[in-house]
Amino acid sequence: MVSVRKDRLISCRDVAGRRRDIIVFTDRGRVVMVSPPGETAVLTPLEVGRLRAALRAAVVEAAENE
């Protein structure tokens, strides 16, 4: 089971307005992003900033684990 850090769980909404999450984590030196299954993620500017920060942190972590 993969442990997901809270700062890498980004809230968003789908096109129908339902709450969803995007998850960012690393696995064996790679960055993994899981989006809502079969959905389109709609993000506010603040949520985009959180996604960007989570991806940046995951890239640094993945590089350290290569």
Distance CA(30)–CA(12), nearest Å, equals: 23
- 59: which 2 tokens? 């890239």
The 3-state DSSP class for residue 11 equals: strand
Q: If you compute the radius of gyration of the chain from its CA atoms, what whole number of angstroms results?
A: 12
State the pLDDT at residue 3: 63
Q: Give domain limits for the chain.
A: 6-64
State the pLDDT at residue 4: 67
Neighbours of 36 (CB within 10 A): 18
State the pLDDT at residue 10: 92
Give me the tens of pLDDT residue by residue for the chain, a chain 66 residues long.
556 677 789 999 988 899 999 999 988 888 998 988 877 888 999 999 999 999 999 999 999 887
Least Cα distance to 42 among 4, 2, 6, 10 occurs for 10
